């Protein structure tokens, strides 16, 4: 017994030593990021990065981003322009995969501005990335321009807009366009294509609040993808199998969301759980909007069924709720949970969060949506007209070819044969011409109807142009980033500051209970903060005193006042305190009693130069202030003081 025990111990030791040595000599698993770092040259790294779809399997996107930042900085230091472009495009793609679409768009836009330096491969990747970024950011008019670029450069034959119509809320119209464009392209035995086609139609119906009809289409999609995965007669790559499983998860999730719309929460839960599991396992990027939507729908189902602990776990998940609609949905579900559990204080807190989001979006969203819809509709009409013109040119070319062929006939017999053929061709051309005329008439009708719709949209846009002043300011900011001239940048910044001053008037109006007047103390404080942010002053060296408590003005007076004050404060920040003196002071005084009012502005800066009168004639700011004061039926007075300058005027 002892000998047997000893033999067992020796055997165990042998096996242990063998296993350790086997582990020491085993080849470590390949690491793609390590291979990327060991690769020489930015072009080789570029090919490795974009030709490997599973690059985040072993290392996260953040690890890749850290490595890319190091290589990009080295390329900047060495002045290697080709390497800079390669790494910048990889950085843009990585930010997109992380769901940071603002940064991805910024990197992509920098590359797009120097597009003449990009080769065809880089340009195709860049345009596809910009297309996806603009969709996520809701910039659909820019997305249309990128798609036209893809068509004009030969990356795609035709461009479509049905997904943009859906993103703008026109789901039924998007579905009709999608059916017309895609149905004829799918073969009867293309089960994956049929699954994707039926899923998209079902999803459009779900978004259009027709869940019962959507379930029929989604069930067909589920059947087709199952047939595709179980079909052993056709070879499939790992990527194709992965895409099929991902589509299967999306279909399951859409079915679950339909049952949530029907308030059938117990039926919805299995579909949603299976969909989330499939999407998590097979998604390409770190962020998936389908996973977020399914998680929110699953949380809603558990709240409705009273499974509060499960619901709170889902709502506190580490998923990225970067989409505003997703954040609003999560806030609504949190409010619903606290209301059902009797915690009305927290329920009110989450409802207020949604109210703040709505306040920041609803004023401009409708006009912006209509403006973008007008752009998309106009481009859609132009695209259809281009196709029609191309068809007419082809018909004209056919006719010319036939005439040239007939002119070559010399012999009587051949002439007779060609005459008969020509007659047959003319009959065919005549019938085709009738068909084309009918098509042209139908297209003209569609174009005229679209133009009428576009006119009505434009009238609505003009009617609510005041709500788009913030958009104008954003556009000026974008233009500033793309401008190198210092004078142009200063002019754009001044224009942006003036636009912000007017936009702030409208913001204060909408925040007031009384829309006819504006409380000037709060408005002036907000305007000062806005100007400080533009000139990067922070306000810590300049003491600003505002004496306008209780003064209210209507919009016709408030807008000139805002613009005048914007010019005065901007000039003080730019010129009055060049050395950032610690005792810098600005005093703003506004009083109104009865039909008379008084405005006074003083600072203790370096004052006005000796040639003030000459500068008054050439300075745009002072000329602008004089005109604005004239609108208030008054005259601007300027006094040089021993310590600074004073502007004042009376008004009615």
**CATH number for the domain that contains residue 121:** 1.25.40
Is 184 among the domain residues? no
Asked if residue 516 and residue 401 are part of one domain, the reply reads no
Query: How many of the other CB atoms lie within 10 Å of CB of 481?
Result: 12
User: Which residues lie across from 593 on neighbouring strands?
Assistant: 596
Phi first, then psi: give them for residue 541, nearest 5 degrees: -100, -10
Residue 305 contacts residue 272 (beta carbons within 8 Å): no
Taken as a whole, the chain contains a residue count of 652
Per the structure, the count of domains in the chain is 3
Is 618 among the domain residues? yes
Residue 644 maps to which CATH number?
A: 3.30.565.10
Asked if residue 647 and residue 556 are part of one domain, the reply reads yes
Asked if residue 611 and residue 520 are part of one domain, the reply reads yes
Tell me the pLDDT of the chain averaged across its residues.
Answer: 79
Cβ contacts of 530 within 8 Å, gap of 6 or more? 497, 500, 501, 504
> What mean pLDDT is predicted for residues 260-287?
89
Asked if residue 646 and residue 519 are part of one domain, the reply reads yes
Q: Any idea which of 247-261, 318-332, 559-573 has the lowest mean pLDDT? A: 318-332
Is 234 among the domain residues? no
Q: Express each pLDDT in 138-167 by its tens digit.
A: 787 888 888 888 888 888 877 777 777 777
Residue 160's pLDDT is: 76
Residue 194's pLDDT is: 94
Does residue 387 carry a pLDDT above 80? no
Query: Sorting pLDDT into bands at 50, 70 and 90, what band is 643?
Result: confident
Compute the distance between CA of residue 47 and CA of residue 122 in angstroms, rounded to an integer: 11
Compute the distance between CA of residue 281 and CA of residue 294 in angstroms, rounded to an integer: 14
Domain boundary pick from 119, 141, 159:
159
Residue 42 contacts residue 75 (beta carbons within 8 Å): yes
Asked if residue 441 and residue 548 are part of one domain, the reply reads no
Asked if residue 517 and residue 439 are part of one domain, the reply reads no
**372 φ/ψ sector (left φ>0, alpha ψ -120 to 50, else beta):** alpha
Question: Coil, strand or helix: which one is 22?
Answer: helix
Asked if residue 555 and residue 436 are part of one domain, the reply reads no
Does residue 396 carry a pLDDT above 60? yes
Does residue 197 carry a pLDDT above 90? yes
Is 626 among the domain residues? yes
CA distance readout (Å), 359 to 131, 348, 350, 510 = 29, 16, 14, 9
Is 429 among the domain residues? yes
Query: Sorting pLDDT into bands at 50, 70 and 90, what band is 9?
Result: very low
Query: Sorting pLDDT into bands at 50, 70 and 90, what band is 13?
Result: very low
Asked if residue 523 and residue 633 are part of one domain, the reply reads yes
Domain boundary pick from 119, 144, 159:
159
Compute the distance between CA of residue 67 and CA of residue 85 in angstroms, rounded to an integer: 15
Is 73 among the domain residues? yes
Is 238 among the domain residues? no
Tell me the two tokens of residue 435: 């068909």
Residue 273's pLDDT is: 93
Residue 458's pLDDT is: 37
Q: Which domain does 410 fall in, by range?
A: 368-446
Domain boundary pick from 133, 159, 185:
159
Is 559 among the domain residues? yes
């Amino acid at each position: 017994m002892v000998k047997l025990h000893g033999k067992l111990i020796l055997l165990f030791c042998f096996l242990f030593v063998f296993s350790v040595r086997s582990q020491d000599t085993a080849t470590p698993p390949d690491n793609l990021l390590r291979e990327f770092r060991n690769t020489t040259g930015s072009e080789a790294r570029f090919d490795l990065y974009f030709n490997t779809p599973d690059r985040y399997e072993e290392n996260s996107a953040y690890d890749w981003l850290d490595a890319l930042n190091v290589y990009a900085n080295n390329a900047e230091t060495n002045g290697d322009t080709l390497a800079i472009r390669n790494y910048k495009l990889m950085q843009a793609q990585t930010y997109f995969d992380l769901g940071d679409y603002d940064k991805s768009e910024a990197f992509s836009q920098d590359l797009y501005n120097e597009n003449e330096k990009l080769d065809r491969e880089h340009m195709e990747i860049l345009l596809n990335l910009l297309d996806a970024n603009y969709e996520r950011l809701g910039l659909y008019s820019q997305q249309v321009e990128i798609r036209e670029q893809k068509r004009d450069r030969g990356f795609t034959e035709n461009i479509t807009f049905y997904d943009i119509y859906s993103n703008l809320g026109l789901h039924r119209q998007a579905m009709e366009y999608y059916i017309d464009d895609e149905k004829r392209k799918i073969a009867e035995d293309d089960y994956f294509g049929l699954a994707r086609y039926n899923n998209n139609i079902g999803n459009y119906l779900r978004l259009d609040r027709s869940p019962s009809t959507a379930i029929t289409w989604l069930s067909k999609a589920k059947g087709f993808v199952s047939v595709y995965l179980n079909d052993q007669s056709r070879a499939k790559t790992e990527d194709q199998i992965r895409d099929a499983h991902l589509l299967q998860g999306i279909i399951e999730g859409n079915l679950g969301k339909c049952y949530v719309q029907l308030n059938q929460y117990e039926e919805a839960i299995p579909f949603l759980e299976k969909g989330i599991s499939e999407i998590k396992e097979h998604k390409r990027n770190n962020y998936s909007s389908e996973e977020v939507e399914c998680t929110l729908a699953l949380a809603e189902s558990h709240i409705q069924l009273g499974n509060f602990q499960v619901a709170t776990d889902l709502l506190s998940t580490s998923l990225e709720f970067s989409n505003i609609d997703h954040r609003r949905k999560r806030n609504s579900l949190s409010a619903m949970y606290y209301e059902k559990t009797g915690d009305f204080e927290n329920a009110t807190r989450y409802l207020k969060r949604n109210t703040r989001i709505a306040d920041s979006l609803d004023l401009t969203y409708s006009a912006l949506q209509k403006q973008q819809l007008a752009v998309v509709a106009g481009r859609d009409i132009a695209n259809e007209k281009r196709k029609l013109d191309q068809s007419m040119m082809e018909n004209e070319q056919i006719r010319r070819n036939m005439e040239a062929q007939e002119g070559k006939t010399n012999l009587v017999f051949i002439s007779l044969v060609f005459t008969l053929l020509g007659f047959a061709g003319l009959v065919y051309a005549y019938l085709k011409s009738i068909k084309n005329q009918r098509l042209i008439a139908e297209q003209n009708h569609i174009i005229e109807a679209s133009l009428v719709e576009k006119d009505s949209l434009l009238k609505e846009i003009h009617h609510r142009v005041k709500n788009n002043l913030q958009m104008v300011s954003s556009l000026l900011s974008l233009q500033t980033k793309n401008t190198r001239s210092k004078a142009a940048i200063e002019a754009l910044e001044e224009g942006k500051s003036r636009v912000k001053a007017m936009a702030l008037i409208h913001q204060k109006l909408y925040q007031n209970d009384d829309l006819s007047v504006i409380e000037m103390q709060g408005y002036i404080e907000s305007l000062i903060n806005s100007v400080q942010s533009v000139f990067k002053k922070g306000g810590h060296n300049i003491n600003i005193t505002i004496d306008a408590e209780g003064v209210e003005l209507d919009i016709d007076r408030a807008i000139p006042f805002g613009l005048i004050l914007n010019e005065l404060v901007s000039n003080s920040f730019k010129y009055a305190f060049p050395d950032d003196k610690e005792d810098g002071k600005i005093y703003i005084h506004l009083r109104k009693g009865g039909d008379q009012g008084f405005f006074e502005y003083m600072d203790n800066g370096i004052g006005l130069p000796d040639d003030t009168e000459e500068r008054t004639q050439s300075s745009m700011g002072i000329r602008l202030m004089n005109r604005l004061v004239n609108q208030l039926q008054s005259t601007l007075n300027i006094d040089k003081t021993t310590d600074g300058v004073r502007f004042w005027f009376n008004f009615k």
